Structure 1
Amino acid sequence: MDNDYNLPHLLEITRGEIFLKKKHNNLTIHDTLIPGFIFLILYVIWALLVINQTSFIHSFDKTIIDLVSNNNATNIAIATKLTVIGNTSTLTVATIVLFIGLLFAKKFAYAFFTAGLMICANGYNWITKHAVERHRPLVHHLVYADGYSFPSGHSVGSATFFGILIVLTILLVKSKFWQTILIIIWALFPLFIGYTRIFCHVHYPSDVVGGWLEGTTFVLLGFSVLYHLYLNKKYE
């Protein structure tokens, strides 16, 4: 029998093919184009409801504000400290650090995916704020906040940044256990940051929901671009 086709050699090839298949499955997920468009539609609908100041939005905001608001000193101290994580300056520094780290790791596509997505999401948010021109709640703010209210910049920035971390965790972390733990942690950050913006009276709840929808839309559509331009070709 030809040595090229002996049993040990075939087993070795088979093991290699299985390894490559598993690696491929670990590093690629389904295209997120359709979910991205679904979130885009939800965001547009939500924005139109806010722009038209519908009774649903007024009722939604009042209900959530009544649930969240309180004068507990501990809650105030935690919320005013935690909300800083979503500041533009904080997320900008975090993005730069992550970008440089990915470059050093020679993950160039992921680095530019991160930077490009943060620039696009925050740039679009600035345009939307000045197009909608919704004023902030006319109550005492527990932290400083300027500019327009919809969508919440903290919610957009945190949903985008931590959404990127979720994507990178799925792509780069091999352990399913640590994938799950990290994804849960990253997902909690935008939720808590959005909560602080309502608690500190600087945003309406509908601003926060709009920010989450916008940030999630950018992450899903951005990943779809990464999938088609890089991942799908790399592991096809």
Structure 2
Amino acid sequence: MALGLGFIELSDEVREKETQHFDERVLLALRTPGHPEQPLGPVWVAEAARDVTSLGSVSVLTLVVFAVSGFLVLVRRWRTLVLVVGSTVGGAGVNSLLKSVFARPRPSVVPHLTWVLTESFPSGHAMLSAIVYLTLGALLAQLVERRWLKAYLVGVALSLTLLIGVTRVYLGVHYPTDVLGGWMAGLGWALLSALVARAARRRSPGLREESRGETAPS
């Protein structure tokens, strides 16, 4: 609920351009004064940022979901497969819808350091990486017993999501509020998917068995 209300409030501010001055100041602060085409830091930082940001691209996330789906097929966890695919495909659809509704132009105050095609708000990389990596992190966390292992898996998922969002701003292809909105929407969708999965497990003995790794061998 809090994430939903926060996203609505943020989107209203973005629509009314109340955040524009702040957004542009942050982007300019990440560039060399007088040379907006040059990002701060050594040359390798920009290349590293492009490498990290690719982890949130549609192509990479699709490969990750396909790989995980293939594993779930091999171990015959069909219900879990439906939950994973439904969460990611549904989240991608929601992101596309939100982008078309807000239709915010990409930043123009600094040159882009990587290629972009779609609208700016909310960030698709931030939102989809939150959905995919947090969903998969939570799924893997169910397969281990120790709390520190669960915390590690969720922490890795969160770290990837945060790094991907930060690189979008550093590369000048998103405003900070685009990324914040993507994080909020992605986390909200991931939590909603988790609630749906929990409710499904309560009603489905088969899904409960899958969560405990009790699926019968082939």
**TM-score category (smaller protein):** 0.7 to 0.9
Structure 1 counterpart of 2:152: 181
CA distance in 2, matches of 1:63, 1:154: 22
CA contact (8 A) 1:46 1:210 kept: yes
CA distance in 2, matches of 1:231, 1:78: 44
C-alpha displacement of 1:48:
1.5
Which one of the candidate residues 38, 59, 68 is aligned to 2:2? 38
Structure number with higher relative contact order (C-alpha < 8 Å, ≥ 6 residues apart): 1
Relative to its length, the structure with more helix (as a share) is 1
**1:81 and 2:51 aligned:** yes
CA contact (8 A) 2:133 2:158 kept: yes
* Residues 165 and 64 of structure 1, relative CA distance in 2, 3 Å threshold: farther
Structure 2 counterpart of 1:119: 89
* Residues 110 and 60 of structure 1, relative CA distance in 2, 3 Å threshold: farther
For 1:89-144, what per-residue CA distance to the aligned partner results, in whole angstroms no more than 9, with x for missing partners? 11011111111212222322221111111111111111111111100011311110
What are the equivalent positions in structure 2 for 1:1-236 lying under 5 Å apart?
37-54=1-18, 57-66=19-28, 68-69=30-31, 70-72=39-41, 73-138=43-108, 139-231=110-202, 234=205
* Residues 232 and 172 of structure 1, relative CA distance in 2, 3 Å threshold: farther
Structure 1 counterpart of 2:35: none
CA contact (8 A) 2:30 2:40 kept: no
CA distance in 2, matches of 1:52, 1:172: 45
C-alpha displacement of 1:202:
0.5
User: Which shows bigger deviation, 66-75 or 128-137?
Assistant: 66-75
CA distance in 2, matches of 1:219, 1:100: 21
CA contact (8 A) 2:92 2:128 kept: yes
Question: Where do 5+ consecutive residues of structure 2 fail to align?
Answer: 32-38, 209-218
Paired AA for residue 116 in structure 2: A
Question: Where do 5+ consecutive residues of structure 1 fail to align?
Answer: 1-36
For 1:68-100, what per-residue CA distance to the aligned partner results, in whole angstroms no more than 9, with x for missing partners? 443321211210111111110110111111112
Q: Percent identical across equivalent pairs?
A: 26
CA distance in 2, matches of 1:233, 1:171: 17
Paired AA for residue 71 in structure 1: L
CA distance in 2, matches of 1:185, 1:67: 28
CA distance in 2, matches of 1:193, 1:45: 23
CA contact (8 A) 2:141 2:149 kept: no
Mark the structure with the bigger radius of gyration.
1
- Residues paired across the two proteins, number: 197
Give TM-score scaled by structure 1 length. 0.78
CA distance in 1, matches of 2:140, 2:202: 15
